[in-house]
Amino acid sequence: MSLNKLIKQCADNDPKAQEQIYQLFAGKLFSICLKYSKNKQEAQDNFQDGFVTIFNKIGQFKFSGSFEGWMKRVMINTVLVKYRKKNVLNIVTEEIPDEVIVDIDDDEISLDFLLSLIQELPDRYRMVFNLYVLDGHSHKEISKMLHIAEGTSKSNLARARAILKTKIETHQESQQSV
């Protein structure tokens, strides 16, 4: 069955079509939730809420552009709305720290370890870091998405990088002493 036909059936609330869409995209969409959540449990909650939103709004998909891209945007927006409601993204305007460079040896740091470090970041830093570094959004776009000032976005990114740098350096030092 074609993807377009599945999408149309989902818009008609066909549970079998919804299950097929879920099976096709669950892995990719769950990885997005892991990236934006502080732990696996929160990611599962965000994932479930995101899929509910996707199925509620699937009739709004215009069949122009990537359906997967549309679902990713819906999933990310679902997560961001939850965080905006918690007011975890608001921070007082602060001086923006200098650019932080992290030197990572691929043999010493696994992707799972990096993900766990990102998940440990405070919510406001994790959101900006993911949107800017991993998803390629500009500070202007992030400020609109998160309802924060561009300067706050830049400050949160710099602080996220500084925290990650410290944690990575601590990890590398502990690995060298073993």
Contact (Cβ atoms closer than 8 angstroms) between residue 157 and residue 138: no
**Are 9 and 79 within one domain?**
yes
Kindly report the average pLDDT of the chain as a whole number: 86
How confident is the model at residue 100, as a pLDDT? Answer: 47
Cα–Cα distances in Å, from 82 out to 42, 68, 146?
11, 21, 11
pLDDT tens-digit profile of 2-57? 999 999 999 999 999 999 999 999 999 999 999 988 889 999 999 999 999 999 99
Total of domains in the chain:
2
**Are 63 and 11 within one domain?**
yes
Residues 48, 56, 61, 131: is their CA dihedral positive or negative? negative
Contact (Cβ atoms closer than 8 angstroms) between residue 142 and residue 128: yes
Query: What is the rounded distance in angstroms from the CA atom of residue 2 to the CA atom of residue 8?
Result: 10
pLDDT tens-digit profile of 154-174? 999 999 999 999 999 888 888
Residues 140, 142, 146, 151: is their CA dihedral positive or negative? negative
Note the Cα 106 to chain centre separation in Å: 22
Range name among 26-30, 96-100, 118-122, 142-146 with the lowest pLDDT average: 96-100
Residue 153 falls inside a structural domain = yes
How confident is the model at residue 89, as a pLDDT? Answer: 44
Contact (Cβ atoms closer than 8 angstroms) between residue 157 and residue 141: no
Model confidence at 107, pLDDT cuts 50, 70, 90, reads: low
How confident is the model at residue 112, as a pLDDT? Answer: 84
How confident is the model at residue 114, as a pLDDT? Answer: 87
How confident is the model at residue 38, as a pLDDT? Answer: 84
| Chain position carrying tokens 């202007």 | 140
Contact (Cβ atoms closer than 8 angstroms) between residue 78 and residue 56: no
* CATH classification of the domain holding 41: 1.10.1740.10
With vertex at residue 131, the alpha carbon angle to CA 130 and CA 136, rounded to the nearest 5 degrees, is: 110
- pLDDT surpassing 90 at residue 101: no
Better pLDDT: 108 or 49: 49
Residue 101 falls inside a structural domain = no
Range name among 32-36, 42-46, 109-113, 128-132 with the lowest pLDDT average: 109-113
Domain that holds residue 60: 3-86
Tell me the mean pLDDT in the region 149-157.
94
Model confidence at 99, pLDDT cuts 50, 70, 90, reads: low
Better pLDDT: 67 or 87: 67
Query: What is the rounded distance in angstroms from the CA atom of residue 146 to the CA atom of residue 67?
Result: 23
Instruction: Centre a 10 Å sphere on the Cβ of residue 49 and count the other Cβ atoms it contains.
Output: 16
* CATH classification of the domain holding 151: 1.10.10.10
- pLDDT surpassing 80 at residue 124: yes
Q: Helix 139-146 crosses helix 67-86 at what angle (to 10 degrees)?
A: 60
